[in-house]
Structure 1
Amino acid sequence: MKLKRKILALLMAALLAVSLAGCGQTSQAPANPPAAPEAGTPTERTVTDMAGRTVTLPAEVKTVGTFGSIGVLNAFVETLSAGERLANEGSPSFVKSPTWEKYQYQFTPHIKNLKPFQGADSELLMENILAAKPDVCLTMSADLTEQLEKQGLNVVQLSWTKTEDVKECITLLGEVLNQQEVAADYLKYFDDMLAKAADLTKDIKDADKKTVVYGNVSKFSQPHVIAEWWIDKAGGISVTSEAMTKANKESLTYTLEDLLKWNPDVMFVASAAEKKEVLADARLGEITAVKNGAIYIVPRIAHVWGNRTTEQPLTIMWAMNKLYPEIVTDSQLAEDISYFYSHFFKYDFNADQLKEIMGK
């Protein structure tokens, strides 16, 4: 009897152990549980902008607002292959330009359906801005920086006063947008193109170099000092260079007498309307550029090539093609243009577009 009780007790203990083991299995975690997020993953980071300000940004910047020099800033973002992050339409002064629709809406078609962040007089449309609340606001204006910062927005201020500042801008924005590899790629491209231009023009004798005037010629104005740089890199001689150096300003106003004395071989102007005005002014009829029909409209693609833009390596090649077509042929220029926009902007121009950009 005792033996039977002992056996029964052992059987009951075994059954209880099996029962408990079964319950334990139903509460176990899956064999391959999803990986938990790493503890301490940062959600924010800081950068130092070109005004020396420390700016806190999200770990990933998904939306970008551009303020002030919208054309220049959009070109920066697009060059870094991040145009899809732009969060605003251009201001009225940009939108009314036919070239804005022609090219800007090709590169970033989504912005056509977005609201502008600035109005007709460049005033901030704060209701639109705060509704979109971009992860970062880009500007080159200390005044705009202050206004936006007061609204609790993240603002990165850029500066482009010297030629080489484009490199610092690209480097900083590569960090802001987490596009460091693209930024490094552009910097190499920039240096390679300048080296290429120097090699192409090295054998041009000073006596054979073409003289050039750039800008609003009918208004006797050279609006952007950086043109002195790209004209020189293209192997030309800017007739306004000496006066611009003396003035030490961003722009230069000269006189009809100055222009007649300089008598440039070539004119680079910003628009078809400007070219028409020059040709209609009888006082300019004896200038060599006018007599020879050497008046060329500088392209405006992401931005005006003659002004500050990441596209300026192309400006150099385009100008060289007009000054010395035997050095840079149409086919070579088309190849350079096609590569730049395909490689950085991720946009492929067709043959008709390339022909239009190059101009006559």
Structure 2
Amino acid sequence: MNSLRMRTIIIILSLVLIHVTGCSANKVSTPVNKDNIEAGTEDKGVTRVTIISPPIFSIYLSASPKDSKVVGINSRAFSTANEKVLNELYPDFKNINTSFINNEFVVNTEELLKLSPDIIFYYGDNQKNELDKLDVESVDMMFSKNRDPEVMTIEWEKHLEKAFNVTSENTIEKEWKTSNNKVNELLKDNSTKKKGLYIFSYINGKITVSGNNSYGDNFFNKAGIVNVAKDIEGCKEVSMEQIYEWNPDIVFIFLGMPAASIINNQAANQDWSLIQAHKNKAIFDIPQAAYSWGAPSADSPIMPLWLISKAYPDSLSKEDFITYLKGYYNRIYDIELKDELVEDILKPKKVKGK
């Protein structure tokens, strides 16, 4: 491979839209035939792993062979997670190379190849670009247009297990069944649904919400919360006037301004005190653990239960949710979450300067 080709960069801006924001794109790439993923890579000496799509790291942590090693990763796998949790799950995570991807979501193939990866996990054609020209097995984790985190995370887990030729007694698929059964039990007598707003981005006064066919909408449906933005397709920036009209009972924030700033009505030129959720003090930051619970990840089966604990605390108390969370991490990641770490996961985001 000549020097010019080695310097080819892969623009992966779709990552922001598809994985980080939780919105569906107008165009979804045609997936690589998943039957082409070679089984038995572990037998071929696959130990050096590179992960371009951040949420896949959490699936790797729950489903990978213990003798494999992540040598390169998108830094958002860390910035969109709780570093104290990552330290428990993968103590060497800070030594994983992230320099081959810059802040503009550009991958330098020359730097990538210096890591000598045996396998690369990516998401969609925009991340693929020149990867198929490299002499490295590359696996596209975009298999369908389905925006349901349950479907996506089960597919991811199955194909990581296939890529590494491993199986596990405790799986995300089993956990989804357990979570769904518990949700159905908790909500069976719930006749009044809360109206919720899912904000996936609140930056510089611009509010973008999750509408129909988004991760947030799917999570709301699972938790028995009515999405006030259901008439919007995907994700869209909206005005305060629109939010006044919707008047949600409860608000959840994925990215951007901390909930505490809104509760204290500190948003410049935006008065949240008129919103019912503000009057209820029902505005919450979405927690981050192995990854943010606001996007598909190995923690996704936890998200509907956490939403219920906030929207319907009489059905699921904080204490009961914590018990479930600890059990989940023990089953999926084989670690014990200490009380201090649980509180760190669930605490509100800090307001800047405080």
Under a length normalisation based on structure 1, what TM-score does the superposition of the two structures give?
0.75
**1:267 is the counterpart of 2:251:** yes
Please say if residues 83 and 108 of structure 1, whose CA atoms lie closer than 8 Å, have aligned partners that are also in contact: no
2:61 paired residue among 78, 83, 87: 78
**1:327 is the counterpart of 2:311:** no
Change beyond 3 A, Cα 1:130–1:270: same
Q: State the secondary structure of the residue aligned to 1:260.
A: helix
Aligned twin of 1:302: 290
Instruction: Return structure 1 stretches of 4+ with deviation > 6 angstroms.
Output: none
Between structures 1 and 2, the one with greater helix share: 1
Aligned twin of 2:135: 152
Distance 2:256 2:128 in 1: 35
For residue 265 of structure 1, report the CA deviation from its aligned partner. Answer: 0.8
Aligned twin of 2:338: 350
Change beyond 3 A, Cα 1:189–1:276: closer
Mapping for residues 245-324 of structure 1, pairs under 5 Å = 247=233, 249=234, 251-270=235-254, 273-278=257-262, 279-281=265-267, 282-324=270-312
Please say if residues 63 and 168 of structure 2, whose CA atoms lie closer than 8 Å, have aligned partners that are also in contact: no
Distance 2:158 2:309 in 1: 30
Q: Which has the larger radius of gyration?
A: 1
For residue 128 of structure 1, report the CA deviation from its aligned partner. Answer: 3.7
Please say if residues 64 and 134 of structure 1, whose CA atoms lie closer than 8 Å, have aligned partners that are also in contact: yes
Please say if residues 285 and 291 of structure 1, whose CA atoms lie closer than 8 Å, have aligned partners that are also in contact: yes
**1:267-287 residue CA offsets vs partner (Å, 9 max, x unmatched):** 111258332453213522110
Aligned twin of 2:19: none
Please say if residues 50 and 119 of structure 2, whose CA atoms lie closer than 8 Å, have aligned partners that are also in contact: yes
Q: State the secondary structure of the residue aligned to 2:313.
A: coil
**1:230 is the counterpart of 2:210:** no
Aligned twin of 2:187: 201
**1:4-50 residue CA offsets vs partner (Å, 9 max, x unmatched):** xxxxxxxxxxxxxxxxxxxxxxxxxxxxxxxxxxxxxxxxxxxxx95
2:171 paired residue among 185, 189, 196: 185
For residue 81 of structure 1, report the CA deviation from its aligned partner. Answer: 4.9
Q: Gapped runs of 5+ residues in structure 1?
A: 1-48
Mapping for residues 88-99 of structure 1, pairs under 5 Å = 88-93=71-76, 95=78, 97=79, 99=81
Amino acid at match of 1:226: Y
For residue 90 of structure 1, report the CA deviation from its aligned partner. Answer: 4.1
Superposition CA RMSD, Å: 2.6
For residue 157 of structure 1, report the CA deviation from its aligned partner. Answer: 0.3
Change beyond 3 A, Cα 1:50–1:341: farther
Aligned twin of 2:124: 141
Point out which structure has higher relative CO (alpha carbons under 8 A, 6+ apart): 2
Q: State the secondary structure of the residue aligned to 1:220.
A: strand
Change beyond 3 A, Cα 1:91–1:169: closer
Under a length normalisation based on structure 2, what TM-score does the superposition of the two structures give?
0.77
Aligned twin of 1:168: 155
Distance 2:66 2:242 in 1: 43
For residue 220 of structure 1, report the CA deviation from its aligned partner. Answer: 2.5
The size of the alignment, in residue pairs, is 301
Please say if residues 62 and 333 of structure 2, whose CA atoms lie closer than 8 Å, have aligned partners that are also in contact: yes
Q: State the secondary structure of the residue aligned to 1:299.
A: coil
**1:220 is the counterpart of 2:207:** yes
Distance 1:304 1:108 in 2: 16
Moved more, 272-281 or 282-291: 272-281
Moved more, 208-217 or 97-106: 97-106
Please say if residues 88 and 111 of structure 1, whose CA atoms lie closer than 8 Å, have aligned partners that are also in contact: no
Change beyond 3 A, Cα 1:98–1:198: closer
For residue 155 of structure 1, report the CA deviation from its aligned partner. Answer: 0.5
Mapping for residues 37-52 of structure 1, pairs under 5 Å = 51-52=32-33
**1:200-257 residue CA offsets vs partner (Å, 9 max, x unmatched):** 102111xx2111111135522125811111112112111112x23xx2x3x2222222
For residue 98 of structure 1, report the CA deviation from its aligned partner. Answer: 8.1
Aligned twin of 2:6: none
2:87 paired residue among 86, 105, 122: 105
Change beyond 3 A, Cα 1:99–1:193: closer
Change beyond 3 A, Cα 1:275–1:73: same
Please say if residues 77 and 291 of structure 2, whose CA atoms lie closer than 8 Å, have aligned partners that are also in contact: no
Distance 1:287 1:58 in 2: 54
